[in-house]
Amino acid sequence: QKEVEQDPGPLSVPEGAIVSLNCTYSNSAFQYFMWYRQYSRKGPELLMYTYSSGNKEDGRFTAQVDKSSKYISLFIRDSQPSDSATYLCAMITSGTYKYIFGTGTRLKVLA
């Protein structure tokens, strides 16, 4: 079993929809959680970072962490065609720099 599981999609939604992307993990030692966005033929870029359970909001993006369920989510409000990309969750334990990534979910927002 992989440490981090993520549905690969693809996920197609109409412009303006609310998008929900999710990851589950098995290692309870993970303490820092990130979402990266990767456009086609580019490297991943950090979108959001959080280290506590609960919600963190940044513009149209909300990251949610539920450590008791070992479940993290990324919500995108008012999705735009420019949001079309692959979204990867990532996590690390305290005191290490071993970033573990999910396989990524491909999102397509249709105009």
Q: Within 10 A of 56 (CB to CB), how many other CB atoms are there?
A: 15
Strand pairing class (54-58; 100-101): unpaired
Among 65, 104, 107, 109, binds another protein (CB under 8 A): 104
Cis (ω within 30 of 0) for the bond into 8? no
Among 17, 92, 93, 108, binds another protein (CB under 8 A): 92
Say which residues have a Cβ less than 8 Å from residue 66's Cβ, sequence separation at least 6. 53, 72
* 3 is an interface residue for another protein by CB under 8 A: no
* 103 is an interface residue for another protein by CB under 8 A: yes
* 61 is an interface residue for another protein by CB under 8 A: no
For another protein, which is the closer residue by CB, 18 or 29? 29
Question: What are the residues binding another protein (CB under 8 A)?
Answer: 6, 32, 34, 36, 41-46, 49, 88, 90, 92, 97-104
